Structure 1
């Protein structure tokens, strides 16, 4: 019976936010920084004064660096990335920054990277955004806000769908000493020229923890897995995992900077419904867990998944379909019907998407499968396969 401990790298989401804040305020030190490709690209991009900044597949870096360079006088860059990155929209953020006075132009297709950004002093301090867009657009503006001469008042139009990620950004601003408010649909961030010296410790990544929740859910009763370094009062929206996986028989206990996952039940509901508008990044993990357990699910709030590293909804439909899953998707939801049939010796395509590789890996507990382009995990979790090997998974490079 499995009983083990895994130390997971720092949160990519927290790391990229803190790296940008550190660039604005050098008095900030960072510990437990993510060792992911995305954090590496972000860190290197922030060091460039002029020229081309290639962020590859890193969507967070594209959004955050667009806002950063737009607000930096005397810096001029072209932000570009992979072919998929040139297909991911950025117009909403660019329009908002232009409204604040930024100088940004498109190199090829209107609304998409690559973009040319000429940094300048932004003095306007009021802007509005649709509330149902990717939270990264909103966070990009909030992160540069305290460094703007007059701060920022951001109005979100409509129903807000990414509150946990917005609160993560505001929480990190608070930790470095920046004042802000979030009332109704209006967020205000006060200007701050300097911040006190501090060391910010990045919590480990809850999205990465999701794959181990999936593993425990697919194991026998009595399985125990300890993950570090985690906090009970996390800033990360994906920490909702602890509540969701109760439905899969996984109990979460909190220690000092760690969580203990324990499989306590073999019987689970036959169908579950979950609104993942506030945690869309764990959708792939959850649906694969459900398929492995032979239960159905209806997942909603997934409208942002179509513009990720791949169209994640169509990718899930295709790859789970290979395994025999009865799965149906719309542009914002996914339905999986209960099934006890799992096909063997299936090769899972990953579409340059790290989460596709990691979400499907736990199914090796139920069937034989191959993960194509397995090294794509380096985007967020370079040690993933090594950590699986430590749990006695048989990982072979093709």
Structure 2
């Protein structure tokens, strides 16, 4: 489905939106719930990724296909490795079969897991023969995708002796590691994270409990972008959020002050308000701890005509697409002067925004959603717009609620 986005009238925005539970928290908790059935989860994400995760955890088939769900691929690799007497082939979409998994597989094999490649070494599909794992120490590079590390942490308490993980070298995406550790602590599992060493103590059962998932901050980023491009006095209330968030992307509240957007917290929501014009200073920001909001920030900078230097983006190369190259391609088509490396993005001030440009989405939900707020400036086309369901089922409906016209082509 291709769509045309447009704004019929340029008026102040004043809306309330409810956003589904965090995909990151939900997928961690779904693994923990299957390891500890005493857990009940409320406000679970309705994203495709979480649906794939639930299906994978409930099926008894040998072939488990998780589509485009990268989080599910990483977390399930460890989960099935410790499911004794269970053998599965874990696979996914064509893109998923070209996303690396070798670092995690090697770490699990170092612990004694039985995992082999069905086709290309280092990539899915992988055959996993679940077994009891006795070893309790492993080393893994600290600058790899935090999902590899979280994958190991989620199963750690179910190992006979627990697990000690040594993070080698520079550590990136620390908020996502801390999110996993905090969720473990919340359900009653003891952990420690000192220097480059993480320890998780063994646990056989936990107390019966209900865990409420906070709404997704990555999804909130698109509304920050919309408010940044709206009239002074516009506001959007989003629920359900909390000030003491586990999610690294909550740094949005601080970053978007640069764009004149203020964030106020209440008991169960945040209100984003456009209070002043955007700063024209070059935005310099290291996003190593929140790479998922890089696309939104880059498009906001282009929309507001602000030059930026974004760093810490090395993990974007192995996402649903090469997000840095995808941003460069689509922003250039819109009239941007942009350059990227393997881990940085530099955007210069622009002269104008081209209208009615068709944005390719590359099977990447964040490409579709990051570019949508540009509709407040010019008519814009989004190709394969249904890709948003990977993380945000009702995104286009919510866009219509705030005043963006969504027309199927």
Which TM-score tier does this pair reach, normalised by the shorter chain?
A: over 0.9
Deviation readout 1:90-121 (Å, 9 max, x if unpaired) = 00000000011100000000000000000000
The residue aligned with 2:206 is 195
The whole-number CA distance in structure 2 between the counterparts of 1:4 and 1:92 is 44
Q: Is the 8 A contact 1:147 1:193 kept in 2?
A: yes
Distance 2:361 2:385 in 1: 8
Equivalence for 2:407: 396
Q: CA deviation at 1:268?
A: 1.3
Q: Could you say which residue in structure 2 is the equivalent of 1:167?
A: 178
Q: Are the equivalent residues in 2 in contact too, given 1:49–1:76 (CA < 8 A)?
A: no
Question: How far 1:339 moved relative to its partner?
Answer: 1.2
Partners of 2:278 and 2:304 within 8 A in 1: no
Deviation digits for residues 152-177 of structure 1, max 9, x if unmatched? 00000001011000000000001100
Give matches, 1:247-262, under 5 Å. 247-262=258-273
TM-score between both structures, scaled by the size of structure 1: 0.99
The aligned counterpart of 1:224 is: 235
* Maintained 8 Å contact 1:49/1:77: no
Kindly state the Cα deviation for residue 302 of structure 1 after the two structures are TM-superposed.
0.2
TM-score (norm 2): 0.97
Q: Answer yes or no: is 1:117 the counterpart of 2:128.
A: yes
Match of 1:28 in 2: 39
- Out of 327, 333, 355, which is 2:344 matched to? 333
Give how far 1:347 is off. 0.2
Counting only pairs closer than 5 Å after superposition, residues 316-327 of structure 1 correspond to structure 2 as 316-327=327-338
1:267 deviation in Å?
4.0
* Corresponding residue for residue 290 of structure 1: 301
- Which secondary structure state, in structure 2, belongs to the residue aligned with residue 143 of structure 1? helix
Unaligned runs of 5+ in 2: 1-11
Would you say 1:9 and 2:20 are equivalent positions? yes
Cα shift readout 1:143-197 (whole Å, capped 9, x = no counterpart): 0001111100000000101100000000000110000000000000000000001
> Is the Cα–Cα contact under 8 Å of residues 328 and 336 in structure 1 kept in the other structure?
yes
Whole-angstrom CA distance in 2 between matches of 1:157 and 1:267? 40
User: What corresponds to 1:89 in structure 2?
Assistant: 100
CA contact (8 A) 2:335 2:354 kept: yes
C-alpha contact (below 8 Å) 1:76/1:117 kept by paired residues: yes
1:287-343 residue CA offsets vs partner (Å, 9 max, x unmatched): 000000011100000000000000000000000011000000001000000113100
Identify unmatched segments of 5+ residues in structure 1: none
Say which structure, 1 or 2, has more relative contact order (CA 8 Å, 6+ apart): 2
Q: For residue 129 of structure 1, what is the aligned residue in structure 2?
A: 140
Per-residue displacement from partner, 1:39-84 (whole Å, max 9, x unpaired)?
0000110112340000100000000000000011011100001110
Find the residue that maps to 2:264 and give its secondary structure: strand
**Alignment RMSD (CA, Å):** 0.6
SS in 2 for 1:395: strand
Q: Please state whether the residue corresponding to 2:303 is helix, strand or coil.
A: helix
Choose from 190, 213, 222 the match for 1:211: 222
> Aligned equivalents of 1:396 and 1:233: distance in 2?
38
Conserved? CA contact 2:358–2:382, under 8 Å: yes
2:390 to 379, 389, 398: 379
Q: Is the 1:135–1:162 Cα contact (8 Å) retained in structure 2?
A: yes
Give 1:40's aligned residue.
51
Q: Name the structure 2 match of 1:364.
A: 375
- Does the CA contact (< 8 Å) of 1:50 and 1:76 recur in 2? no
Seen in structure 2, the aligned counterparts of structure 1 residues 227 and 307 have a Cα distance that, compared at 3 Å, is same
Which residue of the partner structure matches residue 300 of structure 1?
A: 311
Output the CA distance in 2 between the equivalents of 1:24 and 1:148: 11
For 2:134 and 2:278, the matched residues in 1 are separated by: 59
Show structure 1 runs of 4+ deviating over 2 A. Answer: none
